[in-house]
Homo-oligomer: A and B are copies of this chain.
Amino acid sequence: MDFINSQTVGAKFQPSLTSSSHSPYRFLSSTTVAYSPSSSTMAPPVTVNSINPKVVECEYAVRGDIVILAQKLQEEIKAKPSAHPFEEILYCNIGNPQSLGQQPITFFREVLALCDHPSLLDRNETHGLFSKDSIQRAWKILDQIPGKATGAYSHSQGVKGLRDAIAAGIEARDGFPADPNDIFLTDGASPAVHMMMQLLVRSENDGILCPIPQYPLYSASIALHGGTLVPYYLDEATGWGLEVSNLKKQLGAAKSKGIDVRALVVINPGNPTGQVLAEENQMEIVKFCKEEGLVLLADEVYQENVYVPEKKFHSFKKVSRSMGYGEKDIHLVSFQSVSKGYYGECGKRGGYMEITGFGADVREHIYKLASVNLCSNISGQILASLVMSPPKVGDESFESYGAERDGIISSLARRAKTLEDAFNKLEGVTCNKAEGAMYLFPRINLPEKAIKAAGEARTAPDAFYCRRLLTETGIVFVPGSGFGQVPDTWHFRCTILPQEEKIPAVVTRLTDFHKRFMDEFRD
C-alpha cells in the first residue's frame, strides 16, 4: 500500500510522472507535448460504438425488453385505465415478493427501525410500540457496532459482531464451525458474485462453469469481466438434474480449447429451475471440484425456500465438511441474501458470502476489493444477521415470527403447486415441479407457425409468446432465452409470487390466452 521511490529501495515504486511497469496503476508519463486544441483532434462523443464492448455485450433478461414494455404499459394504464384489456401489470418476472404484497417479518422491521433511530430506545412510549425482544436485540446490535454508530462505515467485511451472529447461525445450520473472518457482508448477493468474478477472471481464456438454464447475473458478470461462460446443461427430463459426468465432459471440452476453467457455479435450490439437489449429488460435485481444483461458487440464496417434504437444503459447506474436506481441500464460496427466503427483503440489499479455502494472501486482495467500496449498508448488514439468528423459543416474538414465516412458506408451496398444475394442463406445455426457490420454468412446444411469425417479427419464439401474453393479459414472464436453454427448445420463467388470492385469476388469464394463442398458430 505504501509506495516508495525506486531510487531508495527498488522494491516498490512511487506513482510518479515517469511510467513504470511496476507502477500500482498504469500511470501515464507526462512528457510535454505541444497542445493542439482543434476540433479535428477532438475525442469522439460517447456513443454505443465508443463505450466498453463488454458492457454492450452483456445481457440481463430479468430487467430486459419485456419488463421495459411492461413498465410502459403500466404508465399507459395509469394515464388511462382503459388503455389495455387488463387493469394491472402482474410482475412474474422477478423474485421480488414484497412488490406483490408479501408483508415483511415484523420482528426484523422492529429491530431495523430501532437501530435506525436509536434514541427511541430511551423513550418509555417505545415499550408500547415494540416487542420486548426486538428492543433487546436492538440494544445487543448497537453494542456490537463501534460507538453504536449505525451511520458510520463499518469494517470492510461488515460489523464484526454481526459477522459473529452470522457465523453462529451457519454453525447451527450445518453442525460445523464457521469463522466470522470468512464472512464478507455485501449489498445483496449480486455484488458478492461480481467480486468473485473480478477476482478469478483474468481474460477470455478463463472460464466459469455455469448451469444452463442459469440466473443471468452469472452470464452478465462473466461478460462484464471478460471471461468465458462454460455451459453445463441441466437435464429437464430428470427434473433439472445435474450430472457430474456432464460437468466432466464440458470441463474436458473447455480445456481442449485452451480455456483455464477457474470455478463451477451451482445454484441450489435452482434458479430458474427450482430443483433441490440431493445430498449424494452434492457430494459428487464437491469431489469433482476438489479433484479439478475448481472454486465452488455455491449460490444458496434460496436455502429457506424448499417446498417438498422429500427434499432438504444442505449447504455445500456442510456437505464438504461431512466428507472430511477442510480448508486445504477445496475453495468454497457460499452466497446468501436477505432478498429471498421467507423474508424477501429485496429492497434492503443485504447479503453475505462465506469464503473458505483461500490463502491469507488471496484473502487480502478480496478484502481490498471490499474496501474499495468501503462497506455494505448497515441496515442490510443488520438484517443479514437477523435472518441467520431469528427469534428463538422463549423470545416474546417467537410465536408470531414462526407463524409469519410458516404462513409465507406454506403459501408459496401452495402457489407453486397450483401454477405447476396449471402449466401442465396447457396444450404443448410441460412443467417440472418447483421443489424450491421462487420460480417455475415450463417448456413450451411452440407450433411451427408461431416460430415463423416470431421470425417475421424478428424476435425469439419464446419472447414472441411472452410479449403477446403481456400485451393481452398484463402478465410478465421472462423468455427462456434470457436464461439459456437447449437449442430449439423454448421456455419461460414465471415466479410463484403473485398473492394467493390472485393466483386463480392468473391461471384463468393465462389459460384463456394460451388457448387463443394456440388456436391462432396451431399447425
Query: Is the C-beta of A79 less than 8 angstroms from some C-beta in chain B?
Result: no
Among B15, B257, B379, the residue within 8 A (CB) of A116 is B379
Query: Is the C-beta of A175 less than 8 angstroms from some C-beta in chain B?
Result: no
Closest-CB distance, A217 to chain B (whole angstroms): 7
Closest-CB distance, A398 to chain B (whole angstroms): 19
Other A-B pairs, 19, CB within 8 Å; known A1-B59, A46-B331: A1-B60, A25-B223, A26-B228, A27-B231, A29-B253, A33-B252, A42-B291, A45-B331, A47-B359, A99-B146, A106-B119, A113-B113, A113-B120, A120-B129, A125-B125, A126-B129, A129-B129, A187-B349, A348-B378
Query: Is the C-beta of A281 less than 8 angstroms from some C-beta in chain B?
Result: no
A7 and B43 CA atoms in complex are apart in Å by 39
Query: Is the C-beta of A176 less than 8 angstroms from some C-beta in chain B?
Result: no
Query: Is the C-beta of A418 less than 8 angstroms from some C-beta in chain B?
Result: no
Task: Check A347 against B33 for contact (C-beta < 8 Å).
Answer: no
Closest-CB distance, A367 to chain B (whole angstroms): 8
> What is the chain B residue whose CB lies nearest that of A159?
B347
Instruction: Give the total of A residues in contact with B, Cβ under 8 Å.
Output: 169
Complex A-B: 6 CB contacts under 8 Å? A17-B231, A43-B294, A46-B359, A47-B359, A96-B153, A129-B129
Known: A11-B458, A112-B116, A198-B52. A375 touches B362 (CB 8 A): no
Among B47, B261, B347, B361, the residue within 8 A (CB) of A152 is B347
Query: Is the C-beta of A5 less than 8 angstroms from some C-beta in chain B?
Result: yes
A236 and B206 CA atoms in complex are apart in Å by 45
Query: Is the C-beta of A414 less than 8 angstroms from some C-beta in chain B?
Result: no
Query: Is the C-beta of A150 less than 8 angstroms from some C-beta in chain B?
Result: yes
Task: Check A8 against B455 for contact (C-beta < 8 Å).
Answer: yes
Among B1, B252, B380, the residue within 8 A (CB) of A482 is B1
**Across the interface, which residues of B come within 8 angstroms of A254, CB to CB?**
28
Q: Considering residues A94, A291, A487, which has the most beta carbons from chain B within 10 angstroms of its beta carbon?
A: A487
Query: Is the C-beta of A154 less than 8 angstroms from some C-beta in chain B?
Result: yes
